[in-house]
Amino acid sequence: MPAAPADLSLDYRWSAGSMPPPHHYAVRIRLDADGAEVALRPGYAGADTPTWTVPLTPTAFDRETLVTALREAGLFEADWTPRRPRHIGGSGWTLRVTAEGRSVSVPRDAVAEAGDPAAVETAVRALVPDAVWADLRARRQAFIAAPG
């Protein structure tokens, strides 16, 4: 497996569809040369809504695996365009990846003849260990259950 590019970075943002509080939530995964993190906000942005950020420590192998999966999913070759008509109200995600001096943006509700959006999203979300996802889900459930 080839080494991951030294300039590899990504910014993935996922948001639940339009839902009443407290069911809406948002996730962000960020990766750059300095490290990575996942953040979950268990509601709409506001003074009473926390954001839980967990640092991640992806290994060189994790980065190589990510880049390989993104290549296989067609991320770097596809012409990513928004679906028309755009879906209204549902969950969605966006992604910006830089690698080998090239930046690729995947818009919300993206389609591409040569790319597989589901495989791209799966590869990015795999950066977060299952135990971290489980912890964030538990925190979110506690937030929903809390009186307030």
Q: What is the distance between the alpha carbons of residues 5 and 3, in angstroms, rounded to a whole number?
A: 6
67 in any annotated domain: yes
Q: What is the mean pLDDT of the chain?
A: 92
**Does residue 20 have a cis bond before it (omega within 30 degrees)?**
no
For residue 148, is pLDDT > 70? no
For residue 129, is pLDDT > 80? yes
58 in any annotated domain: yes
120 in any annotated domain: yes
2 in any annotated domain: no
Per-residue pLDDT at 125: 98
1 in any annotated domain: no
The total of structural domains in the chain comes to 1
Q: What is the distance between the alpha carbons of residues 66 and 87, in angstroms, rounded to a whole number?
A: 28
15 in any annotated domain: yes
Instruction: Pick the more confident residue, 100 or 30.
Output: 30
47 in any annotated domain: yes
3 in any annotated domain: no
Residue 21, domain CATH: 3.30.1560
Residues 6+ apart with CB under 8 A from 91: 14, 15, 16, 17
Task: List the domain range (segments joined by +) for residue 63.
Answer: 9-145
